[in-house]
Amino acid sequence: MIEAQGLTKDYGDKRAVDGLTFTVKPGIVTGFLGPNGSGKSTTMRLILELDAPTAGDVTVNGKHYRDHPAPLHEVGALLEARSVHTGRSAYNHLLAMAQTHGIPKSRVDVLIDMVGLHDVSKKRAGQFSLGMGQRLGIATALLGDPSTVLLDEPVNGLDPEGILWVRHLLKGLAAEGRTVFVSSHLMSEMALTADHLIVIGRGRLIADTSTEDFVQQASGNVVRVRSPQATRLAELLAGPEVTVTPLDGDGLLDVKGLKAEQIGDLAAGNGIALHELTPQQASLEDAFMELTREDVEFKALEPEAVA
């Protein structure tokens, strides 16, 4: 369980994280989405108290991260930036991390095997590929059998097999009742993995919702209708909460604000033939673009506002 309350972080004049309030619950995978530079990595660093917040507060399992007597047992973290001495072997890196908590050597061996680094565990980490580095990072994160797992872009640099493996891993961790908080720039990956989404843009919270609702909300319940009597249908559908957009001259309409059943019933009741009636589901990618659009526009306008 991660609880952030008005979390804010300034770097000089730049506000990287701006009043974030959210809760990451155990037992599900929570995705953390945002365009590049939106403050995802900073938020993760604030959770781990690598950086101190300018304002606000964040706790893990009810305490500040620093106040836990066995921090690695509370939170296992994979940070986006590499956090390994390039001259040290994977085995010795994990051993040094384990020793801070009195975790036995056998645990290090188990994790090295689990992430598939057995053959290269004595090689210097500086020689690792990006994918191998990610596996080592994941092994580091799981070392202390943590109740909360924090992963910043875990599938970066992984091959398709590795991506599938991480997806299974995240779901497995959540199924075991752990809190799983994972950032990714791959929206499609989040659609497959995350149950819940926290979306930020320019450091501010944009959405905190289930993945299902997120897509539905952003797509705005658009229904595509094709009818030979499109003009008459459009007149019938019109209402204060409804927008009808003709798409071409061929009787194709996008209707926003009504469910497919309502449109179908209305057409049937008035003897209007329908050739197509399709609820449109926006992809997560579209939904994300839709939600962060204002943010991007704001960014483009900013120089004028400053001047």
Partner 1 sequence: MSAVPTIPPLPHVGKVTQARVALSEWTKLRSVRSTRWSFFAAVVFAIGISALACTVVAHHYPQMDPREKANFDALGVSLAGVQLAQLAIGVLGVLVITAEYSTGMIRASMTAVPKRLPVLWGKAMVFGGVTAALMIPAALIAFFVGQAILSRHGINIAFTHPGVPRAVIGAGLYLVVVGLFALGLGAIVRNTAGGIALFAGIMFVIPPLMNVLPQSWNNAASPYLPLAAGESIMSISSGNHLAPWVGLGLFVLYALAAIAIAAVLLLRRDT
Among 31, 144, 154, 201, binds partner 1 (CB under 8 A): 144
Assess contact for 7 and 19: CB atoms under 8 A: yes
Residue with tokens 């000089």: 12
Beta bridge partner(s), residue 199: 33, 207
Q: Which is nearer to partner 1, 72 or 120 (CB)?
A: 72
Interacting stretch for partner 1, rule CB under 8 A, among 136-144, 197-205, 267-275, 294-302?
A: 136-144
CA distance 52 to 42: 10
Binding mask 67-96 for partner 1 (x = CB under 8 A): -xxxxxx-x-x-x-xxxxxxxxx--xx-xx
**Min separation Cβ 191 and partner 1, Å:** 21
Q: Which is nearer to partner 1, 93 or 226 (CB)?
A: 93
* Three-state DSSP string of the chain: CEEEEEEEEEECCEEEEEEEEEEECCCCEEEEECCCCCCHHHHHHHHCCCCCCCEEEEEECCECHHHCCCHHHHEEEECCCCCCCCCCEHHHHHHHHHHCCCCCHHHHHHHHHHCCCHHHCCCEHHHCCHHHHHHHHHHHHHCCCCCEEEEECCCCCCCHHHHHHHHHHHHHHHHCCCEEEEECCCHHHHHHHCCEEEEEECCEEEEEEEHHHHHHHHHCCEEEEECCCHHHHHHHHCECCEEEEECCCCCEEEEECCCHHHHHHHHHHCCCCCCEEEECCCCHHHHHHHHHHHHHHHHHHHHHHHC
231's tokens: 């003009």
# chain residues binding partner 1, by CB under 8 A: 54
Among 51, 57, 195, 290, binds partner 1 (CB under 8 A): 51
**Min separation Cβ 33 and partner 1, Å:** 23
Residue 282 found at the interface with partner 1 (CB under 8 A): no
Q: Which is nearer to partner 1, 73 or 224 (CB)?
A: 73
**Min separation Cβ 95 and partner 1, Å:** 5
Residue 206 found at the interface with partner 1 (CB under 8 A): no
Residue 192 found at the interface with partner 1 (CB under 8 A): no
**Min separation Cβ 73 and partner 1, Å:** 4
5's tokens: 């309350």
Dihedral angle over CA of 145, 147, 153, 155, nearest 10: 50
**Min separation Cβ 141 and partner 1, Å:** 9
Residue 162 found at the interface with partner 1 (CB under 8 A): yes
Interacting stretch for partner 1, rule CB under 8 A, among 27-35, 165-173, 240-248, 294-302?
A: 165-173
**Min separation Cβ 17 and partner 1, Å:** 13
Binding mask 96-135 for partner 1 (x = CB under 8 A): xx-xxxxx---x--x---xxx------------------x
> Binding residues for partner 1, per CB under 8 A?
45, 48-52, 65-66, 68-73, 75, 77, 79, 81-89, 92-93, 95-97, 99-103, 107, 110, 114-116, 135, 140, 142, 144-145, 161-162, 165, 168-169, 172-173, 176
